[in-house]
Structure formats: C-alpha cells, structure tokens
Structure 1
Amino acid sequence: MRIATFNINGIRAAQRRGFEQWLREREPDVVALQEMRAPAAAIPPDVFGPYHLSYDEGVIPGRNGVAILTRRAPAAVRTWTGSALVRSPDEIHTHAVQLDPVTLARGLREFATEGRYIEVDLADSPITVASLYLPKGGLPAHLQKPGRMREAPDGGARYDRKMRFLDAFARQLTRSRRDARARGRELLLMGDLNIAHTRFDVRNWRRSNQAEGFLPEERAWFDSLLSPRTLVDVVRTTYPDVDGPYSWWSWLGQSFANDTGWRIDYHLATPALARSAAAAGTDREPSADRRISDHAAVVVDYDLSAAGLV
C-alpha cells in the first residue's frame, strides 16, 4: 500500500503547478493533505480524480485545511469539530456531514475549528490514518530581536500558542493511538509538524538552534512522542543518521537548488505498521521551476501482507 503526505500550499495553486499529474503518476492508495486553503465550494472539479475525499476546511479563510484521499470510501471519519466534507469521486456536493463525536483532550478546543486534524479508518486495512497541520509558532519573547525578524515581535504570543497546542495534542494523540488499538487498528499520523526533530533534519542546524521549528523544547516534545512501543518515525528509520531527506525548502533565494531544506513532514506509525515499510522517500522535484509546493510529498510503501495487516 502506497501512502503519501503532502503539504500542497493551496489546492488551487497546486493544481496549476502539476498536482494532478503527480497524483496520476505516483498512484498512492492514501494521501494526507495539509494547507488545502480552500472552502469546499472552491475545490477545483475533478482535481482528485478517482479518490474519495474527507476534508476539514476549518473556519479561517484562505488558511489551513486538512484532507485525506482514499481509493475506497473510509469506514469512519473523525474531526475535532464533529463534521467534515465527505464525498465520493462522482459527487459534487459541498455540505459537511455530522460525524460521531470525538472527546477532545484538555486544551485542544482552542484549536478545534482551525482545520488542523482529520482521521479516517481505512475500509480495506486495519489502519487509522490521520492528517495533521501543526501550527508554525514563533520565537519565545527572550529570543525576539527587532530588526532581525521577518515578522514583527509579538512578545512570544505565537510561541506560547504553539506550546499550548503541543501540550494538548500530545494528550489527544495518546488517546487516538489507544482508541485505534482498541478497534484492532494501527495508527499512522502524517503531516506537516513544523518541527525538525534532529540535526539531521535541518541543513544548517547549527544556525537554527534559536529558530522556530528547531527550538530545544520543540524537539524535546517530539522526542516524547516516539518510542519502540508507541510511534516510530518511518522515514528516519529508513535513513538513519543521514542528512534529510528534506521535505521543505523556502521559495526564496537558492534554498531549493542548494538543498538547504528542513524535514518537517512525517509518517509516524505504530510499531507493527512501521516495520512493514518497504520503501520510503521524498518526492523532491528535479528543478525549482517544477515545484508543486514549498513542500515535497513524503511517500512510503507499506507491505501490509508481510506484517499480517491484510
């Protein structure tokens, strides 16, 4: 089973840049998408071809939005608001449907309507797949230096908000993982986590120790998610102790040409599913002018039969 995660930085822009061709050529069975950035009525017709769409667009115009594409209609869909756009390839409706309610962890309700998380139970495999778009955040107040920041200093407000999200989401993720296990399913969390976990995940890591996305406290939080008994970073297991493969490069300058990137897009899988990974990598385009997004898709082929998951 080929499963991909892709922050597309706007479905309408991604379509113009070749998303549909990527989808046809790579033929993933499941795709987690982040930053759809479109209300349901503005999703380009037929952009997802033969796939079933599950989508939480959120309430912030032109921002966020997470989706999951599947070959077959999912057995169940869950979001933090209890509703989502769920439609088959031959449907054009844009109304959300009510879903089974989800009990949210303490502190998560602040973020529930922002279109940051959706999960589905696959119909043809005992796997729950989730798509996450984690807040970018900012610098803590003591690291903010006016004149040396692209954004105006905010006294650490964006940093504090991200840390609240991390604290609440860790509790929610534990609940999701345990709930999946109770249903006899593996859990696969994918998406843009906006954190580079180790020095192998940032090209200029020495200069990034005081940059949002690579702060010690963010990396420590990431550490807390992973263990041989809970969740495994599938791509890093495939490429231990090597730089990259990166999944994000700035649009500015020569970052892409020089491969000055960050690895911030992940497959985090429960152990049995992680062990079934047969191949993993990043779909980095051959040249800057062929980029679909500032991110690249991260694609893993899972041999479910070898792991007894079919």
Structure 2
Amino acid sequence: MLRVASVNINGIRAALRRGFGDWTAQRGCDVVTLQEVRCRVDDLPEDAFGGYHLAYDPGSLAGRNGVAVLTRERPAGVRTWGADVLLRAPGEGHTRLDAPDDPGTLARGLSRYAREGRYLEVDLADAPLTVASLYLPKGGLPAELQRPDRMREAPDGGRKYARKMHFLDAFARQLSRARRTARARGREFLLTGDLNLAHTRLDVAAWRRNQQSEGFLPQERAWFDAQLCPRTLVDVVRRLHPDTEGPYTWWSWLGQAYARDAGWRIDHHLATPRLARSAVRAEVDRDHRGVRLSDHAPVVVDYDLG
C-alpha cells in the first residue's frame, strides 16, 4: 500500500505551529506533496520534515509559492521547470541547491512561470511512479465580471484572469508531455496539488452563487474537463466518492465557512488510469487533533500497488 497526501500548508512555519510535524509523524504517509511552503531555503525550520527526504523548489518570489515533495526514500529523479531545487536527506542541515534533472523542452508559454516555485516532480525509488506537486495561480475575474462594490481587491481589468488562463493553456501541453514521458519510462503518473479550480457542482458548497467566482468560472471548468479522460487522467477522489458533496479541501478563514462546511474542493489527485484504479481509500483530514493545519486540508489517498 502506498499512501500519498497533498496539502497546501500556506506557510511551513505557520503549519508547524498548528501541528504539521505531529500530523506527518502520525499519518503514516509514504509521499507528501506540499504547496505554498513560502520559505527561503536558509530559513527552513530545523527538522521541519521529520524523517522524510525533501525535494523543494522555493521559487524566486520572496514569501510566496514554493512546492515540495517528501518521500521515504531518496527519489530516483527530480525535475522542476529549470529552477534549482533543494535536495535534503533526513537529519541533514545543509541548504544546498542542486540543479534538477533536465526537464526537456518546456511547453510553449510556460517559461515565464519556471522560477515561481509552482511545479516539482519526482520519480519514486521504491515504486514505478512519478509524483508531481503543483500550485496553480489563483487567478481573478474577467474584466466584464469585475464589480468594485463586490470585490475585496481593486479591479485589474482582467489581468489576473488572463494570466491564469495563459498558464492553464501552457500547462495543459506540459501535463500531457509529463504523463507521456512517465509512461515511456515505465511509470504511472500522479499530479497532486492546489489547482485553485473546482470542477463540478459537487465541488463547491454554494455552487449557484459562485458560478461567476474565480476558480469556478465556466472557462476554468471547461479546461478541467479537457484534462480528464478514462485513457489519460482520472480524478481519483471523485472516482471513489462519485456522489459526495465535496469532500471539500478549502474553507475561508472568514465567517462560519469552516463550521458550516461551506467549502471548495480545489486540491486534487489526478492519476493515470491504472494508478487511479488502484486507489482504495481517499480521505480529507479536516483537522488534526481539533486544529486546522491551514485554510486547506490534506487530501490522503491509499493506492494498492501490490
């Protein structure tokens, strides 16, 4: 059995204060993928990741983004989109950044995001599997939907929306390449992470009034549709919970959203078909000992590879 978890920790130091270290020690995961680590390499807390091998792309934007993959064994291969990556074994205190394995030619349009700390993939040493951690841009609203009296941020003329759609267009090509490359190497492929996208009505508690909200726009949902196919990538959690509202993975800190379970399912496991069929259990850890680790919750899936 291979247990894989994905969680946007919204800052490693804040997550550690909320019990992230205890959660990783108790949960028994073989692989943990992280998004929004949000920490310079030199500032990573000592023993932040317990007994795991760490692969970490911090990105170049101070205090933002940063993706990582934690594994029990040192990974057989590590790839970013060209950025240097921190590789660290358990108990090591060094802060060496290594050049990752050659990712090959990036898909058209992706190079502008290459050093933002948004994507990292590893080849597991103890299973024929490539696991990726993705932090996709949050985006915004198109210009025609922006109403100053209904927005917390100042209108930007659709700039953030356009940037996200550009990223999605480029990433779709790169995702197809990554999946095919894994297959050519005899590996299954698993994309995990915070996609900042909810796919269907079951993925948003208040879906009716959120149809014109970023993360649930028709254009975004159409992109998600295009990535899923029984022959390419499968939404693992939805396969195991076909009729469930949620299970939600993100709740606003504001109001009573968490208490009412008025959340969004925007953190995902997307797997190649054979791997998806091996999934036997999928859970969302809403809290750990009564404490939320982040505004997101870990998505934990057990894969029976035996």
Q: 3-state SS of the aligned residue for 1:114?
A: coil
The reply on whether 1:125 has 2:104 as its aligned counterpart is: no
Aligned partner of 2:146 in structure 1 is 144
What do the CA deviations read for 1:65-118 (whole angstroms, capped 9, x no partner)? 000000000000000124200110121111210122222100001111100000
Matched letter for residue 278 of structure 2: S
Aligned-pair identity in percent equals 67
Which residue of structure 2 lines up, in the alignment, with residue 227 of structure 1?
A: 229
Residue of structure 2 equivalent to 1:98? 99
Number of the residue aligned with 1:308:
none
1:76-91 superposed matches below 5 A: 76-91=77-92
Superposed, 1:179-198 pairs within 5 Å as 179-198=181-200
How far the C-alpha of 1:43 sits from its partner, in A, is 1.0
Aligned length: 304
Partners of 2:90 and 2:101 in 1: CA distance: 23
Q: 1:257 aligns with which of 247, 256, 259?
A: 259
CA distance in 1, matches of 2:136, 2:298: 17
In the alignment, does 2:269 pair up with 1:273?
A: no
Q: Which residue of 1 aligns with 2:21?
A: 20
Question: Are the structure 2 counterparts of residues 57 and 286 from structure 1 closer, same or farther at C-alpha, using a change threshold of 3 Å?
Answer: closer
Q: Alpha carbons of 1:32 and 1:286: their partners in 2 closer, same or farther (altered >3 Å)? A: closer
SS of 2:152's equivalent in the other structure is coil
Indicate the SS of the match to 1:230. coil
Q: Which runs of 5+ in 1 are unaligned?
A: 306-310
Q: How does 1:164-243 map to 2 (within 5 A)?
A: 164-243=166-245
Structure 1 residue 241 displacement after superposition: 2.1
TM-score, length basis structure 1: 0.97
Runs of 4+ more than 4 Å apart: none
Unaligned runs of 5+ in 2: none
Contact 1:82 1:100 in 2 (8 A): no
Q: What amino acid sits opposite 2:163 in the alignment? A: R
- Equivalent residue letter for 1:210: Q
C-alpha distance in 1 between matches for 2:238 and 2:28: 23
Counterpart AA for 1:180: A
Q: CA deviation at 1:41?
A: 1.1
Letter in 1 for 2:57: D
